[in-house]
């Protein structure tokens, strides 16, 4: 083998393989950075709009057979911008819902619907739904590309309980108490 400095030509294999490896590393780095940036942008956007100042919370009972208790839980509106911003921040901080095959119990359609607006009776900015049963998750009904997120906060409490706590509202009959569906 002769030294390159002495005028020897590199074989094609010695030249192409290192270039291919460098190109592959560059591509992997670019892909990693783009995924990190897109994930950060998606997380920053989140399911709840940051500019909302009014939030209407509505119980949805799904397939609850006992309609006589539905009047106990009532819809309410939060007009305090600080409380709305706090709830939106909690929702946007939820972990992404796991992707793949999941084994969940059958849901009964019970959920909490959160409608975000910029002002009372204004245009709806986003409608976020938090399910109680089945594979409990949170997602924005208006988002085309937003995936669902977990419905448990970092404190281990379900989002619905946190929203009721921040609002200072008590629902005596929450849809989590619904009897399971009959097959």
Answer yes or no: is pLDDT of 43 > 50.
Answer: no
Average pLDDT of 120-137? Answer: 86
Average pLDDT of 157-165? Answer: 91
Q: What is the 3-state secondary structure (H, E, C) of the chain?
A: CCCHHHCCCCCHHHHHHHHHHHHHHHHHHHHHHHHHHHHHHHHHHCCCCCCCCEEEEEEECCCCCCHHHHHHCCCEEECCHHHHHHHHHHHHCCCECCCCCCCCCCCCCCEEEEEEECCCCCCEEEEEEEECCCCCEEEECCCCCCCCEECECCCCCEHHHHHHHHHCCCCCCCHHHCCCCCC
Of 38 and 108, more confident: 108
Of 108 and 26, more confident: 108
Answer yes or no: is pLDDT of 7 > 60.
Answer: no
Output the pLDDT for position 16: 58
Of 122 and 172, more confident: 122
Of 45 and 159, more confident: 159
High-pLDDT (> 70) share of the chain, %: 61
Read off the pLDDT of residues 146-157 as tens digits, 9 standing for 90 and up.
Answer: 678 888 888 888
pTM of the model: 0.67
Domain ranges of the chain: 9-45, 54-176
Read off the pLDDT of residues 53-101 as tens digits, 9 standing for 90 and up.
Answer: 999 999 887 776 666 666 667 899 999 999 999 999 998 888 888 877 7
Answer yes or no: is pLDDT of 163 > 60.
Answer: yes
Of 160 and 181, more confident: 160
Output the pLDDT for position 33: 46
């Amino acid at each position: 083998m002769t030294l390159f400095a002495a005028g020897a030509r590199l074989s094609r294999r010695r030249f192409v393989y290192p270039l291919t490896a460098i190109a592959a590393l560059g591509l992997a780095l670019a892909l990693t950075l783009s995924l990190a940036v897109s994930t950060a942008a998606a997380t920053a956007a989140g399911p709840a709009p940051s500019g909302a100042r009014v939030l209407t919370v509505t119980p949805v009972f799904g397939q609850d057979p006992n309609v006589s208790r539905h009047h106990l839980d009532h819809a309410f509106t939060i007009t305090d911008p600080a409380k709305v911003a706090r709830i939106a921040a909690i929702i946007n901080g939820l972990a992404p819902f796991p992707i793949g095959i999941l084994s969940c119990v059958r849901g009964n359609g019970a959920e909490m619907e959160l409608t975000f607006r910029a002002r009372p009776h204004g245009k709806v900015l986003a409608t976020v739904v938090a399910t109680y049963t089945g594979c409990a998750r949170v997602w924005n009904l208006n988002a085309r590309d937003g995936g669902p997120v977990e419905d448990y906060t970092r404190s281990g409490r379900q989002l619905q309980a946190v929203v009721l706590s921040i609002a200072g509202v008590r629902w005596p009959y929450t849809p989590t108490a619904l009897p399971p569906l009959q097959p």
